[in-house]
Amino acid sequence: MSLTYSKKEKLKSKKRIDQLFAEGQSVSVFPLRMVYLPTTFEEPIGAKTGVSVSKRNFKTAVDRNRIKRLLRESYRLNKTRYFNNLTTQYTIMILYIGKDVPTYNQVENKMNLLFQKFSNKVSKA
């Protein structure tokens, strides 16, 4: 697993997203929240991941784009530390539930905490 984050690893199917929110479990580290569900894919990837920012909290598309880009970037750079050890494939959605536009460092710190919490929970189960 490399530092890339291409189309194959993005969560695009509406069907899968509906299933994820219906059946998935979640962990959160404010202002981030991760919803995940074990899934089997044909492609050899660790997970299919999407990001989301509420339109209610950020009215302009510029702000939403900015946050989503930060989320994707920190996911891309930090996923290898945790997901290379996993044997199960997951469908994941990462939500931003804060109300202010963050800096990259803030997002990266929280993302690492979130991943730790996630892998602890998964390994226990």
Partner RNA sequence: CAAGUAAAUCGCCUUAUCGCUGCGCUUUUGCGUAGAGGAAAGUCCGAACACCAUAGUGCAACAUAGUGGUUAAUGGCCACCAGCCGAGAGGCUAGGAAAAGUGCAACAGAAAGUAUGUACAGGUAAUGCUGUAGUGAAACCAGGUAAACUCUAUGUGGUGCAAUGUCAUGUAAACCAGCGUUUGAAGGCGGCACGCUUAAGGCUGGAGGGUAGACAGCUAAAGUGUAUUAGUAAUAAUGCACUCAGAUAAAUGAUAAGGGUGUUUUGUUGUUGUGGAUGAGAUUCUGAAACAAGUUCAGAACAUACAGAAUUCGGCUUAUAGGUUUACUUUAACA
Q: Dihedral sign, CA of 108, 109, 110, 115?
A: positive
Burial classification of residue 18, based on how many CB atoms lie within 10 Å of its CB (0-12 exposed, 13-18 middle, 19 or more buried): exposed
Q: Which is nearer to RNA, 43 or 120 (CB)?
A: 43
Least Cβ distance, residue 91 to RNA (angstroms): 11
Q: Which is nearer to RNA, 53 or 114 (CB)?
A: 53
Least Cβ distance, residue 118 to RNA (angstroms): 19
Beta bridge partners of 48: 91
Least Cβ distance, residue 120 to RNA (angstroms): 26
Q: Which is nearer to RNA, 30 or 104 (CB)?
A: 104
Q: Are 39 and 48 in contact (CB under 8 A)?
A: yes
Q: Which is nearer to RNA, 77 or 113 (CB)?
A: 77
Residue 14's contacts (CB-CB under 8 Å, 6 or more residues apart) are none
Can you give the binding site for RNA, defined by CB under 7 A?
2-7, 10-15, 17-18, 50-52, 60-62, 65-66, 68-70, 73, 76-77, 93, 103-105
